[in-house]
Structure 1
Amino acid sequence: MGSLAETAGRLVAVPMGAVARWRGRPIHPRGAVLDAVLERRGGTPPFGVPWLDQQRTDPALVRLSRGAGLPAPLPDVLGLAIRLPAEGGSHVDLLLSTTGRGPLTRLVPVPRVDGAATHSSIMAYRSAAGPVRLAALPERAEVPTEPGAVAAGAADGTLSFTLAAAVGLGEWRPFARLRTTGPREPLDPAVRFDAVRHAPPGLSADGPMARFREPAYAAARLLGHPRNR
């Protein structure tokens, strides 16, 4: 399975690179970058992973985007990227996409017309507690998807998500709250997120999705533009 995913990732890199040269990002070309705060409260009961169980508040950088760049109200796979500071001057990147919420449906990307939907990592993380997946669960009934509307929502402080984790096929368990505080200027500056290289401490990107994503993005960066999701 590993070699198949890696080969597929390298093959996908060629068209991704071509698209990147043309429009600046291989996927999720349209979005809004926001300032935010992440309040980690820990799991109940604890997950057994220090980063998930730690109580701490950090500034965050968030990008909400549309996967194929289709205009609203057309459905699209929506993205939520989160960057957090880490020890040693490094950072943590999380990449979440709209999926189902159940044990199996959260493994499949699902196009949505509204951002008030489960955003899951899809990709698993290897940890001392077992395979872990992360999710962002919206705290409001409607979440805009067009960059301008997203920025307006962030400016009035109404965009927030509960961050949750699931071990294996277990239920989502909250461990943090993400609250946006305002849009960046310009609206969508060039920020590169890499969830494989910059996983949270104690979590290692694992599984077919990680083995697919890393060669695809590494080659696309060489073939195309330095901007990606």
Structure 2
Amino acid sequence: MADLADAAGRVVAVPLAALARVRRAKPMHPHGAVFPAVLRRQGIGVGIPWLDAVGTDDAAVRFSRGAGLPARFPDLLGLALRVAGDPPVDLLLSSAGRGRWTRRVPVLRRDAATPYGSVMAYRSAAGPVWLTALPQGGPLPSDAAGLAAAAPGRVVQLDAAVGRGPWRTFGTLLVGPVAGPLDPDLRFDAVLYPPPGLTTDGPMARFRRPAYAAARVARGAPRDAREPVPPSRRSGPDRK
């Protein structure tokens, strides 16, 4: 299975790299909106360092449409999160369900205030872990211009489910106003930069690894390029 997943990723990497060269942008989720954010984690005591930690971190969040279709059409919506650190932590979440089985299935949406899930489980000492994010506050446009106006000030609830356990809220994300270009060229990679205590695992991770690497190289980026987190314009005694 490992060899099949890796081989499939290498096959898919070829058209993805070609699409990245043609678009001169990300082959998937080519357009979006990036916002500085503040992540507050409250800890849930499940034996996983990143989910058990309490603190406040600078972050960046990107909302995007997977195929780049016009906003009037449903699309596979994305929420990418980068948490500051060395190395950083990257989460790539797609519009999905929250049920035991539906959380494994991407779904097409128009409204960006929808559940976003990791789809693939992470491996951990406590068992498989799924992550999800849910923007609060009612409907949210999914096009970049609409997001720029409506996303700042939103709270995004972050939940985790361990094994067959229920969703538990481990943190919240406060979205700030646009601090620079609406869609700077940040390169998120959930395979290279998982949260501490979590390991990308399974066929999906092995499939993603060569595909992501080929897309980065096609866009002229290093295979393991890291990007800074946009400033949050926030300071406080509880910042890590």
Q: What TM-score, normalized to structure 1? A: 0.93
* Preserved contact between residue 26 and residue 215 of structure 2 (Cα < 8 Å): no
Distance 1:204 1:110, change over 3 A: same
Structure 1 partner of 2:238: none
Distance in 2 between residues matched to 1:204 and 1:134, nearest whole Å: 13
Structure 1 partner of 2:64: 65
Instruction: Confirm or deny that 1:21 pairs with 2:16.
Output: no
Structure 1 partner of 2:7: 7
Post-superposition offset of 1:220: 2.3
Instruction: Considering fraction of residues, name the structure with more strand.
Output: 1
* Letter matched to residue 172 of structure 1: W
* Preserved contact between residue 139 and residue 160 of structure 1 (Cα < 8 Å): yes
Structure 2 partner of 1:33: 34
The residue matched to 2:151 in structure 1 has which SS?
helix
The residue matched to 2:211 in structure 1 has which SS?
helix
Distance in 2 between residues matched to 1:144 and 1:160, nearest whole Å: 15
Distance in 2 between residues matched to 1:120 and 1:93, nearest whole Å: 13
Distance in 2 between residues matched to 1:102 and 1:220, nearest whole Å: 32
| Aligned-CA RMSD value | 1.5
Post-superposition offset of 1:221: 2.1
Distance in 1 between residues matched to 2:79 and 2:57, nearest whole Å: 17
* Letter matched to residue 187 of structure 2: R
Distance in 2 between residues matched to 1:29 and 1:210, nearest whole Å: 21
Alignment of 1:50-199 (within 5 A): 50-86=49-85, 89-155=86-152, 157=153, 159-199=154-194
Distance in 2 between residues matched to 1:164 and 1:75, nearest whole Å: 25
Identity score, percent? 56
Divergent runs of 4+, >3 A = 223-228
* Preserved contact between residue 50 and residue 196 of structure 2 (Cα < 8 Å): yes
* Letter matched to residue 57 of structure 2: D
* Preserved contact between residue 97 and residue 121 of structure 1 (Cα < 8 Å): yes
Segments of 5+ residues of structure 1 without an aligned counterpart are none
* Preserved contact between residue 34 and residue 183 of structure 2 (Cα < 8 Å): yes
TM-superposition CA deviations, 1:108-128 (whole Å, max 9, x none): 110001112110011211111
Distance 1:144 1:225, change over 3 A: farther
Q: What TM-score, normalized to structure 2? A: 0.88
Post-superposition offset of 1:169: 3.2
* Preserved contact between residue 81 and residue 93 of structure 1 (Cα < 8 Å): yes
Post-superposition offset of 1:152: 1.1
